[in-house]
A and B are shown apart, each in its own frame.
Chain A
């Protein structure tokens, strides 16, 4: 146990790519947590994918010993937070474990949407915020302008902002000194009943589930019988330790301390982020505030390209879920795509990450259907349904109303691209709530239907702003909406994998665009192919792929019949990889590309 007055708990928050993880590395190195040779770049991003994409998915923490320039010894717990909007709840739990935040801002870029969203969250947690201007080694750094921006846009005092370069190590000491001087030590009662925040959890093949905790009151020691207050799960603690960043066992964790425990837990689902851990023997009367069960927001179908991979996909999903209880999956079958799984995610990035891990770590070839949000459908008999698969859409005559989720979106964009961003938001049925300027940057707040955002919003936003817009959102509420199912038919047969739910005002245009795109993607075949889009039985668009005109070897002399036969067999194999809809073969690429389609 450490003396409370000597502890400082700090979260690092930043917009993506502003150098958060590199800064963490420098701080670890400075405190001697690792020898230089042990430092791999961005130690705290442990997953390969995290490192590659520069995104932290799991909250990571490290306990550092620091002797200040005044000679005082302190323990600094550094918590690196997930860096993407999909994980804002996880960020909030990391913040709840700390008394202050390092707000890292790229001195060449300035404030971006996630800087803002994260800073507001830190303010909501009553954090002492230490602004850090990173990348000061670059010639294009503009510290004064960025400080002004922090004050104007976020509304916090930036006069004490530190100027550092995580890359060169410039100013690293000032960061540590500022933490000691400005952050309040944690408060807590070691003799009160155990109350600890479950910050994050992950699966370790040797230890079982590893739980990252922040002790608020009481003490966590090995052999303590603990209970998760929300899930009700009970386990006996096996190990208690801290990350230095190496796992190091300790006798106990007391108030204000951040560390890990293991308790021979097999299933991460028992360990929900934000839950309160207490002792079975003398439980806390009240759980810590702010727990929210994780609910998938975006769904899509994942199908193996090769139907023989179905079992492998199931096993791989199970393995991934060991480490990530925030995604859900259920078996699903589709006439077009065969057997697969309907999966739910925290957001689009989360979806992409899971899909990529399945393809990369497990070597699976997947087809993903169009992402869908969760609609609330009220039937005429009063029954309510949650709907996220267009195939499950009831007949319109049975539907009384459909509600769809809306988000509160914050977009920061340089002046010259504002027009494009506004046009995009309007096209996506957005309602403008606010528009302000800070220097030459505009900040727009919109209410947007989430289904428009999961469709192609990110790509479009990137292209209309040439990559300069940053975006953050939070889910707001459900509102009634005029939604219809857009069905796609190939030679009269509905293709479930291509169906989608759209707002009536968008459905026709989207249907026409989808037909045109499919026409480009489906190769000519022996027979004519009709591609149709329909809304409630009414055909609203039609395209025709005319039959193949020429496909024969001009010159075929005896010579090498074998080669020709093999060529034919190869083509035949290629055909098997296509999906058969009636007598039409649709290449996998057609599904993928059609689903990714951007509207122009």
Chain B
């Protein structure tokens, strides 16, 4: 795993992660509450142009930066023409310094048509792919509304591993009716062909999704919390035995592998978000850290960019306390936790200003939290309870 960056001194090159949102999907998955849309057709040239114009906009705000990672997320960015990805990657390199070892990830669906284009994405500069395999069970894939089956997914994984230097895939577990035994088998099968990284998510029902309505109406029920926890514990156990470190709540890497781009979020580094609904945390020269949010609806975003040169719907300054809370919220998801010196350095906030002293004491006594060697970290027992921990911990 890459090391945590040191607090940067003034005037130095800013470290930056770049997120690119491609909002289109062939169909919407019933569990997904991300900013995704189904459209008959997309004017690819306009979209490419708009993404580059947003790059211009942010490059003007942050003229001296080194981009360490680019992440194409969605939506389904593997539906994007590889030339668009190439244009954005080259565009970033032209406006900023693109680190020689920059991690450039593409989210992709494991269908045969999309897999067939991986070669072109590799040529465009992508060097890591994250496949939404989601399940190794055809019935489960149908339930999840996915457009692929297990055989197709395995072929896509194999192809990705051949073409890309690094790859990962996602699985969704704690599905309705899923037993501990079935998940053990499924995860073991996944490990038999995985590269060095896996993202393993418990199915959560988000408000406003079709799954939310179905669950509310009793069409299905998620496993109860005790089963959910048993599945989580089993996951940790199996992954650890296979040499995969749980470096984040739902992410596991072998031999130090980790998604460097996502680490930037969790470590509260600065990131630029372009494309509809993308979020950013940036610190333009002379200003404090800001939260940016782009227009979410694809057409509004496109129109705004073409009109104003950017699709930013909101820019909000974050005071030191807010930053510190955000940094703790994100950082405690990581096994490494949060360095208090770095927290102070990045946010300007003394950690104790945002920590509830009694809550902290209780959590440490209960073994959910550790505060030592200048770091605050959630223990293995505390991480699956992180929401409650944060409510207790943060002032």
Task: Mark A residues whose CB is within 8 Å of B.
Answer: 524-527, 548-562, 564-565, 568, 571-572, 575, 583
A181 to B333 CA separation, bound complex (whole angstroms):
88
User: Which of B19, B225, B330, B387 makes the CB contact (< 8 A) with A549?
Assistant: B225
Further contacts, 8 of them, CB under 8 A, given A558-B19, A565-B325, A583-B362: A527-B366, A551-B385, A553-B204, A555-B204, A558-B265, A559-B278, A560-B279, A562-B293
- Please, how many residues of chain B have a CB less than 8 angstroms from a CB on the other chain? 48
Q: Across the interface, do B329 and A565 meet the contact criterion of CB distance under 8 Å?
A: yes
A559 to B274 CA separation, bound complex (whole angstroms):
11
Q: Across the interface, do A568 and B390 meet the contact criterion of CB distance under 8 Å?
A: yes
A526-B392, A561-B326 known; A551 vs B368 contact (CB < 8 Å): no
Task: Please tell me if B287 contacts chain A, counting CB pairs below 8 Å.
Answer: no
Q: Across the interface, do A568 and B228 meet the contact criterion of CB distance under 8 Å?
A: no
Q: Across the interface, do A558 and B271 meet the contact criterion of CB distance under 8 Å?
A: yes
Which chain A positions have C-beta within 8 A of B204?
553-555
- CB A188 to nearest CB in B, in angstroms, measures 70
Select from chain A the residue with minimum beta-carbon distance to B326. A561
Task: Mark B residues whose CB is within 8 Å of A.
Answer: 17, 19, 73, 201-204, 225-226, 228-229, 232, 249-250, 262, 264-266, 271, 273, 277-279, 281, 291, 293, 316, 322, 325-326, 329-330, 333, 362-363, 366, 368, 383-392, 394
Interface SS of B by simple majority: helix
Q: Across the interface, do A559 and B384 meet the contact criterion of CB distance under 8 Å?
A: no
- CB A526 to nearest CB in B, in angstroms, measures 5
User: Which of B203, B228, B250, B325 makes the CB contact (< 8 A) with A550?
Assistant: B228
Q: Across the interface, do B326 and A527 meet the contact criterion of CB distance under 8 Å?
A: no
Which chain B positions have C-beta within 8 A of A550?
202, 225, 228-229, 232, 384-385
Select from chain B the residue with minimum beta-carbon distance to A572. B391
A561 to B322 CA separation, bound complex (whole angstroms):
11
A555-B250, A571-B387, A583-B362 known; A561 vs B329 contact (CB < 8 Å): yes
User: Which of B226, B250, B389 makes the CB contact (< 8 A) with A526?
Assistant: B389
Which chain A positions have C-beta within 8 A of B250?
554-555
A383 to B155 CA separation, bound complex (whole angstroms):
90
6 closest A-B pairs (Cβ-Cβ)? A558-B265, A549-B229, A554-B201, A552-B386, A554-B202, A551-B387
A554 to B229 CA separation, bound complex (whole angstroms):
12
Residue pairs across A and B with Cβ atoms less than 8 A apart, 17 shown, are: A526-B362, A526-B363, A526-B366, A550-B202, A551-B385, A551-B386, A552-B386, A552-B387, A553-B249, A554-B203, A558-B281, A562-B291, A568-B329, A568-B391, A571-B387, A571-B391, A583-B362
Q: Across the interface, do A558 and B264 meet the contact criterion of CB distance under 8 Å?
A: yes
- CB A228 to nearest CB in B, in angstroms, measures 57
Q: Across the interface, do A559 and B394 meet the contact criterion of CB distance under 8 Å?
A: no
Q: Across the interface, do B385 and A561 meet the contact criterion of CB distance under 8 Å?
A: no
Select from chain B the residue with minimum beta-carbon distance to A526. B388
Which chain B positions have C-beta within 8 A of A556?
249, 330, 333
A557 to B264 CA separation, bound complex (whole angstroms):
10
Which chain A positions have C-beta within 8 A of B325?
565
Q: Across the interface, do B281 and A561 meet the contact criterion of CB distance under 8 Å?
A: yes
Q: Across the interface, do A526 and B385 meet the contact criterion of CB distance under 8 Å?
A: yes
Q: Across the interface, do B388 and A562 meet the contact criterion of CB distance under 8 Å?
A: no
Which chain A positions have C-beta within 8 A of B201?
554-555
A549-B228, A565-B322, A572-B391 known; A559 vs B279 contact (CB < 8 Å): yes
A/B pair count, beta carbons within 8 Å: 106
Q: Across the interface, do A551 and B249 meet the contact criterion of CB distance under 8 Å?
A: no
Select from chain B the residue with minimum beta-carbon distance to A563. B279
Q: Across the interface, do B329 and A551 meet the contact criterion of CB distance under 8 Å?
A: no
Q: Across the interface, do B394 and A568 meet the contact criterion of CB distance under 8 Å?
A: yes
Which chain A positions have C-beta within 8 A of B19?
558-559
Which chain B positions have C-beta within 8 A of A571?
387, 391
Most buried by B among A553, A559, A564: A559
A558-B262, A561-B281, A561-B329 known; A549 vs B226 contact (CB < 8 Å): yes
User: Which of A525, A559, A560, A565 makes the CB contact (< 8 A) with B388?
Assistant: A525
A527 to B388 CA separation, bound complex (whole angstroms):
11
A557-B265, A558-B271, A568-B390 known; A552 vs B384 contact (CB < 8 Å): yes
A559 to B368 CA separation, bound complex (whole angstroms):
27
- CB A583 to nearest CB in B, in angstroms, measures 6
Which chain B positions have C-beta within 8 A of A559?
19, 73, 265, 273, 277-279
Most buried by B among A524, A526, A560: A526
Which chain A positions have C-beta within 8 A of B249?
552-554, 556
Which chain B positions have C-beta within 8 A of A555?
201, 204, 250
A554 to B385 CA separation, bound complex (whole angstroms):
11
- CB B33 to nearest CB in A, in angstroms, measures 10
Select from chain A the residue with minimum beta-carbon distance to B333. A556
A527 to B366 CA separation, bound complex (whole angstroms):
8
A39 to B192 CA separation, bound complex (whole angstroms):
83
Q: Across the interface, do B225 and A548 meet the contact criterion of CB distance under 8 Å?
A: yes
A271 to B277 CA separation, bound complex (whole angstroms):
69
Which chain A positions have C-beta within 8 A of B326?
561, 565
Which chain B positions have C-beta within 8 A of A551?
384-388
Q: Across the interface, do A549 and B271 meet the contact criterion of CB distance under 8 Å?
A: no
A559 to B265 CA separation, bound complex (whole angstroms):
8
A1 to B232 CA separation, bound complex (whole angstroms):
88
Q: Across the interface, do A568 and B387 meet the contact criterion of CB distance under 8 Å?
A: yes
Which chain B positions have C-beta within 8 A of A562?
279, 291, 293, 316
Select from chain B the residue with minimum beta-carbon distance to A528. B366
Q: Across the interface, do A524 and B281 meet the contact criterion of CB distance under 8 Å?
A: no
Which chain A positions have C-beta within 8 A of B390?
568
- CB A514 to nearest CB in B, in angstroms, measures 25
- CB B162 to nearest CB in A, in angstroms, measures 27
A526 to B367 CA separation, bound complex (whole angstroms):
11
Which chain A positions have C-beta within 8 A of B229?
549-550
Q: Across the interface, do A548 and B391 meet the contact criterion of CB distance under 8 Å?
A: no
Which chain A positions have C-beta within 8 A of B293?
560, 562
Which chain A positions have C-beta within 8 A of B265?
557-559, 561
Select from chain B the residue with minimum beta-carbon distance to A552. B386
A549 to B384 CA separation, bound complex (whole angstroms):
7
Which chain B positions have C-beta within 8 A of A524?
225
- CB B331 to nearest CB in A, in angstroms, measures 11
Select from chain B the residue with minimum beta-carbon distance to A561. B326
Which chain B positions have C-beta within 8 A of A560?
279, 293
Which chain A positions have C-beta within 8 A of B273?
558-559
- CB A441 to nearest CB in B, in angstroms, measures 43
Which chain B positions have C-beta within 8 A of A558?
17, 19, 262, 264-266, 271, 273, 279, 281, 330
- CB B313 to nearest CB in A, in angstroms, measures 12
Select from chain A the residue with minimum beta-carbon distance to B327. A561
Select from chain A the residue with minimum beta-carbon distance to B201. A554
Which chain B positions have C-beta within 8 A of A552?
249, 333, 383-387
Which chain A positions have C-beta within 8 A of B279?
558-562
- CB B352 to nearest CB in A, in angstroms, measures 18
A329 to B245 CA separation, bound complex (whole angstroms):
63
Which chain A positions have C-beta within 8 A of B368?
526
- CB A584 to nearest CB in B, in angstroms, measures 11
- CB B233 to nearest CB in A, in angstroms, measures 9
Which chain A positions have C-beta within 8 A of B277?
559
A558 to B366 CA separation, bound complex (whole angstroms):
29
- CB A27 to nearest CB in B, in angstroms, measures 52
A559 to B266 CA separation, bound complex (whole angstroms):
11
- CB A3 to nearest CB in B, in angstroms, measures 72
A286 to B326 CA separation, bound complex (whole angstroms):
80
- CB B206 to nearest CB in A, in angstroms, measures 10
Which chain B positions have C-beta within 8 A of A549?
225-226, 228-229, 384-385
Q: Across the interface, do A561 and B330 meet the contact criterion of CB distance under 8 Å?
A: yes
